[in-house]
Structure 1
Amino acid sequence: MTTDQNVITVEELRRSYAGGFEAVSGISFSVSRGEIFALLGTNGAGKTSTVEVLEGLAAPSGGTVRVLGHDPYRERTTVRPRIGVMLQEGGFPADLTVTETTRMWAGCTTGARPVAEALDLVGLGGRASVRVKQLSGGERRRLDLALALLGRPEVLFLDEPTTGLDAEGRRDTWDLVRALRDSGTTVLLTTHYLEEAESLADRLSIMHGGRVVVSGTPAEVTAARPSRIRFLLPEGVPAARLPLSLRAGAEGRRVEIRTQDLQHSLGELLAWAGRTGTRLEELDARSASLEEAFLEIARSDAPLTDRVVV
């Protein structure tokens, strides 16, 4: 990946607050053009402090940041027309309608797309005449997204974009984000929904204690963690009868096997069950998930050594 392919470059970024607290402790990553990149982190990890610097809302205390080749803070007037920002919570005048709110925002946006087009993109076309105060929480999030898309941004920052949406609305938003990526928009996403990050992100970084502790594709991040097999043994069949090579752990009838080779271990387990005529109840076998990787990091008492897997 060459530098000119990167629309976001972060090198040894630090951000400190009054009193000497360092929220971001020398992190580095890059985001290439037309990529969905998820920046994840435990509470207090420093991801919000990082994103505020990328959006040009704050200056770094150290290191360098470039968005579209420019310093987003010092060259904000150059960068701002080319990016879209969806904050965690928008502050809209409650008595304006959806159309009035969007039209007002469009008046402050260079090269804004038509209001109706922006609302249709996020599924709010049918609510155009409704006052903002009458929108549901999920509909307000859709309005936030519509305003972020008004300027046809080259880089789109999405901060918890699907909070408050129902399952259908979340999936619709995922489809829209993928379509934006496919059309060339670069997306930097923060989310607490790990399924969302796993589904959407081309690459991701997880922060903890002000540092990036693991980076890569979702598959690469989870590949380093063991898969698991869970099941219930029948009454009267002790876990000690299982093949020793499976290294099974048991609590009563409930058994869990952790393995780096899911196919081999599952095959060995099923072969044993077939030979012995044992019925395995509630059998569940699955690869490691991003949630498991995240929880392992979250439970760490101290910042982990950086583990970049790509």
Structure 2
Amino acid sequence: MPNPSPALEVEALVKDFGPVSALDGKMVRVLDGVHLRAYPGQVTALLGANGAGKTTTLECAQGLQRPNSGTVRLLGENPFNAGAALRSRVGVMLQEGGLPPSARPLALLNHVAAMYGAPRPVAELADRLGINSYATTGIRRLSGGQKQRLALACALIGNPEVLFLDEPSAGLDPQSRTIVFELIRELRAEGLAIILTTHLLDDAQKLADYVYILDTGRTVTHGTVAYLTADDAGDTYRDLRFQAAPGLGLPGDTFPALTFRETDPGRYSVAGCFTPADLAGLARWWEDAGVLPLSITMQPRSLEDVFLDISGREIR
């Protein structure tokens, strides 16, 4: 069971930027009432399209941006006014890394570790994340995935209680992604509160205990993965996918309980609470349209389906 006291609490967060131009002087509201809570021993995922406000929310939560209104409590304190004592309890992995390009990975890790009173063992962390294989290579020469692993190590070296990860799997190859995911699960088991953003919804579905979805600067829905991927009656949707010729005319209101999308040219998704009659009806539709699908898969409703529903991209 989670600790009843949240490690991070955000309420009614508002943040304006601007003005966009000197001519109109208008500010742009990028956050408009965001709320979220993150607990120790949980992975909390923040999802949303580009421009939804994910990174700005994290920056306010970390104390890097001052909100116009609303409250942020990080480990019980306002992070914007916090001193070194609070910051030493928080690890941050920025989307762009923030790594000095002329430094070398192992030397940088030792330098960062020296700033903390009780850091994690550098050699152990470097070995776990595969950093030893490029320990003396200049950071500017590293691949994107290598920089990501080094940025994660820098965020962890101080042995934090709260860990912010902005797109932690970006640029990682499959092997590196597996290593990072295993480490995140271990950190959760150790009791860390982990708050992450990702545009890879499959990653969020695998890692997250609780999910917040932002749209145009607002928290539009939140819950566990199981809650978000179930319908109002608590039944899990099924997601049927098939491939056929691009531009296939979709059946519209013939299946009122189902949602049809052409996700990519020639790739189709049908979401809803399927019945045997629905499947028989789909077969008749294919027959009437003269379509023989190239492949058919069926699986429970996913976070991607939830995200697309919220984004208003349904095709009926």
For residue 276 of structure 2, what is the amino acid of its counterpart? Answer: S
Q: CA RMSD in A?
A: 3.5
- Secondary structure in 1 matching 2:305: helix
- Secondary structure in 1 matching 2:115: coil
CA contact (8 A) 1:246 1:265 kept: no
Alignment correspondent of 2:144: 137
- The equivalent position to 1:27 in structure 2, one of 34, 56, 67, is 34
For residue 164 of structure 1, what is the amino acid of its counterpart? Answer: G
Alignment correspondent of 2:6: 6
Alignment correspondent of 1:283: 296
- Partner Cα separation in structure 2 for residue 91 and residue 280 of structure 1: 47
- The equivalent position to 1:50 in structure 2, one of 57, 68, 73, is 57
For residue 219 of structure 1, what is the amino acid of its counterpart? Answer: A
Alignment correspondent of 2:75: 68
| 1:248 Cα offset (Å) | 10
Runs of 4+ in 1 over 6 A off after TM superposition: 243-251
- Secondary structure in 2 matching 1:73: helix
Alignment correspondent of 2:111: 104
- Secondary structure in 2 matching 1:205: strand
- Partner Cα separation in structure 2 for residue 54 and residue 197 of structure 1: 20
For residue 296 of structure 2, what is the amino acid of its counterpart? Answer: L
For residue 87 of structure 1, what is the amino acid of its counterpart? Answer: L
Quote the sequence identity (%).
37
Q: 1:269 to 1:46 in 2, by over 3 A?
A: same
- Partner Cα separation in structure 1 for residue 243 and residue 107 of structure 2: 59
- Partner Cα separation in structure 1 for residue 131 and residue 213 of structure 2: 33
Alignment correspondent of 1:276: none
CA contact (8 A) 1:229 1:266 kept: no
- Partner Cα separation in structure 2 for residue 3 and residue 178 of structure 1: 17
Q: 1:223 to 1:141 in 2, by over 3 A?
A: same
- Partner Cα separation in structure 2 for residue 169 and residue 122 of structure 1: 8
- Partner Cα separation in structure 2 for residue 249 and residue 7 of structure 1: 40
| 1:105 Cα offset (Å) | 1.7
- Partner Cα separation in structure 2 for residue 246 and residue 137 of structure 1: 43
Unaligned runs of 5+ in 1: 234-238, 274-278, 302-310
| 1:131 Cα offset (Å) | 2.8
- Secondary structure in 1 matching 2:229: helix
Q: 1:110 to 1:222 in 2, by over 3 A?
A: same
After TM superposition, the structure 1 = structure 2 runs for residues 240-259 of structure 1, keeping only pairs within 5 Å, are: 258-259=271-272
Alignment correspondent of 2:91: 84
- Partner Cα separation in structure 1 for residue 198 and residue 134 of structure 2: 26
After TM superposition, the structure 1 = structure 2 runs for residues 220-259 of structure 1, keeping only pairs within 5 Å, are: 220-224=227-231, 226-230=237-241, 258-259=271-272
Q: 1:201 to 1:79 in 2, by over 3 A?
A: same
- Partner Cα separation in structure 1 for residue 162 and residue 28 of structure 2: 30
Alignment correspondent of 1:296: 309
Task: Report the TM-score when normalising by structure 1.
Answer: 0.80
- The equivalent position to 2:206 in structure 1, one of 199, 202, 206, is 199
Aligned positions, number: 287
Q: Which moved more, 1:203-212 or 1:284-293?
A: 284-293
After TM superposition, the structure 1 = structure 2 runs for residues 102-181 of structure 1, keeping only pairs within 5 Å, are: 102-181=109-188
- Partner Cα separation in structure 1 for residue 115 and residue 49 of structure 2: 35
- Partner Cα separation in structure 2 for residue 121 and residue 231 of structure 1: 40
Q: 1:214 to 1:95 in 2, by over 3 A?
A: same
CA contact (8 A) 1:246 1:257 kept: no
Structure possessing the higher radius of gyration over alpha carbons: 1
Unaligned runs of 5+ in 2: 20-26, 245-249, 285-291
For residue 188 of structure 1, what is the amino acid of its counterpart? Answer: I
For residue 167 of structure 1, what is the amino acid of its counterpart? Answer: P
Task: Report the TM-score when normalising by structure 2.
Answer: 0.79
Per-residue CA shift, 1:49-99, capped at 9, x if unaligned? 111011111222111110111111112433201000000112434343221
Alignment correspondent of 2:195: 188
